[in-house]
């Protein structure tokens, strides 16, 4: 579904990504593991048009999207849930959700979309008139994911969804991610500081170091890889 070939990207004169090759198939959850600064977020930002690659090719459903503008990529069906949530704090929950649906041509059925996300996130239904800034961290993360779902994505990119959340909330967020993947058949590319948790729900994983993919395998094999265990899984975090 998503195919990245030879992707390189830089910030000014500093090259961050070096010749990356990554694939996400139909219905898969794929996770990208690496230390802080390894290039994980830059990879997602390149896919979603927020960073312009210096070389390489990104295709989605057989169509090249390299160098497309972010709004065009959203229309193609790729939606990013960014690190830090980045909800609109001065807007209500309902207004945040409405912004997620801005690219839809048919606005008549938006009521059904609200109900669908409220089924996934019941707490948001009781918070529709609250401002984003008044929500807890976990509720803000739920809102960020719900807002992305309002765009009818064909693929989700999730950047550190568990960051700053209590362990019980982390489990809840990951259960929701699995539900979205299975019930809606939405493939997911996941970046997550909790490498063990990410691999526990993923089909496959890639390990990135200093902007280069150094290992790829089935998630269960990566969980049992001694080198990976020592580097990333010993404490359950990157």
Q: Which of 161, 156, 205, 206 is closest to 185 using CA atoms?
A: 156
What pLDDT, on a 0 to 100 scale, did the predictor assign at position 107? 63
- Profile the chain (238 residues) by mean pLDDT over runs of 10 residues: 96 95 97 93 96 96 94 93 90 94 73 90 94 94 94 95 88 94 95 91 96 96 90 56
User: How far apart (Å, rounded) are the C-alpha atoms in residues 3 and 84?
Assistant: 26
**CA–CA distance, 5 with 7 (Å, rounded to integer):** 6
Q: For the whole model, what pTM was predicted?
A: 0.90
What local confidence, expressed as pLDDT, does residue 45 receive?
A: 95
Q: In what order do the strands lie in the sheet with 204-209?
A: 78-81, 155-159, 188-191, 29-33, 204-209, 212-218
The three state secondary structure string of 127-176 is: CCCCEHHHCCHHHHHHHHHHHHHCCCCCEEEEECCCCCCCHHHHHHHHHH
Query: What is the pLDDT at residue 105?
Result: 65
> Among candidates 212, 188, 200, which has minimal Cα distance to 236?
200
DSSP for residue 231? I
pLDDT at position 102 is 81
The pLDDT of residue 96: 94
Q: Domains of the chain (ranges plus CATH)?
A: 2-88+153-233 (3.40.50.300)
């Amino acid at each position: 579904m998503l195919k990245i070939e030879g992707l390189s990207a830089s910030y000014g004169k500093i090259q961050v990504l070096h010749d990356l090759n990554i694939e996400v198939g139909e219905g898969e959850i794929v996770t990208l593991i690496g230390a802080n600064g390894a290039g994980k977020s830059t990879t997602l930002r390149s896919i979603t048009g927020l960073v312009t690659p210096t070389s390489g090719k990104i295709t989605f459903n057989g169509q090249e999207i390299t160098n497309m503008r972010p709004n065009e990529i959203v229309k193609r069906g790729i939606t990013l849930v960014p690190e830090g949530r980045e909800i609109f704090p001065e807007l209500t929950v309902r207004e945040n959700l409405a912004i997620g649906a801005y690219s839809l041509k048919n606005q008549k059925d938006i009521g059904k979309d609200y109900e669908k996300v409220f089924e996934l996130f019941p707490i948001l239904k009781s918070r529709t008139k609250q401002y984003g800034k008044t929500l807890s961290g976990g509720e803000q993360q739920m809102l960020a994911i719900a807002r992305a779902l309002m765009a009818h994505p064909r693929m989700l990119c999730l950047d550190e969804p568990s960051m700053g959340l209590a362990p019980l909330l982390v489990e809840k967020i990951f259960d929701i991610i699995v539900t979205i993947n299975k019930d809606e058949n939405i493939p997911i590319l996941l970046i997550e500081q909790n490498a063990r948790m990410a691999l526990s729900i993923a089909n496959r994983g890639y390990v990135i170091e200093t902007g280069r993919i150094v290992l790829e395998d089935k998630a269960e094999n990566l969980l049992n890889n001694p080198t990976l265990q020592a580097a990333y899984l010993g404490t359950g975090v990157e």
